[in-house]
Amino acid sequence: MTSSENLRTRGLVAIVGAGPGGATLARLLQMRGFTVKIFERDASATARPQGGSLDLRPDSGQRAIDAARLGDVFARFSRNEAKSFRMIDSQGKELPGMGEETHEDAGPEIDRKDLRQLLLDGLAPGTVAWGHVLEDVHPEADGRWRLEIKDQAPVIADFVVGADGIGSRV
């Protein structure tokens, strides 16, 4: 039995953070039969603004979306106009030679809130534990991990992934 087969039959993959990285990973793991739980500090998917748009390039972000079998949904929410732009002077006239495809390798843009929602919608119900603020992670004697979560009972996981940004506690 391989280590990934053992993990699928044994227990939990805990992901800390329900942003694009954490939600995409959760989707990919669930598609392969893993038991996954995301612990997210936000109280809900709409608890705070998610920021502006993201440009998902064909060789990175779009590959992940396609692997997660969410390409059709992504296409409905994304905008291809990010691949080119027009330069306009102070009088509103387009500057010659400045409207070509200037970002040939650019991908379509998608609003962060739309991307997060389409990823969350692709997860099994109950995957995300909202309002769970991770305080610490400790190794257990049996090789598993203990997640200390503010005002919650500790969670024991077989594998932990930190997708909680620059100030990660994992």
* Centroid of chain to Cα 145: 22
User: Among residues 156, 122, 143, which one has the least CA distance to residue 39?
Assistant: 156
Spatial distance between the Cα atoms of 58 and 108, rounded to a whole number of angstroms: 9
Q: Cα dist. 59→53, 66, 107 in Å?
A: 18, 11, 9
pLDDT in tens, the chain (170 residues): 455 555 545 689 999 999 999 999 999 999 999 999 999 999 998 888 777 777 777 788 889 999 999 889 998 888 876 555 666 778 888 777 655 555 555 668 888 889 999 999 999 999 999 999 999 999 999 999 999 999 999 999 999 999 988 777 78
User: Which neighbouring-strand residues pair with 156?
Assistant: 146
What's the pTM?
0.79
- Alpha carbon 164 to its chain centroid, in Å, reads 10
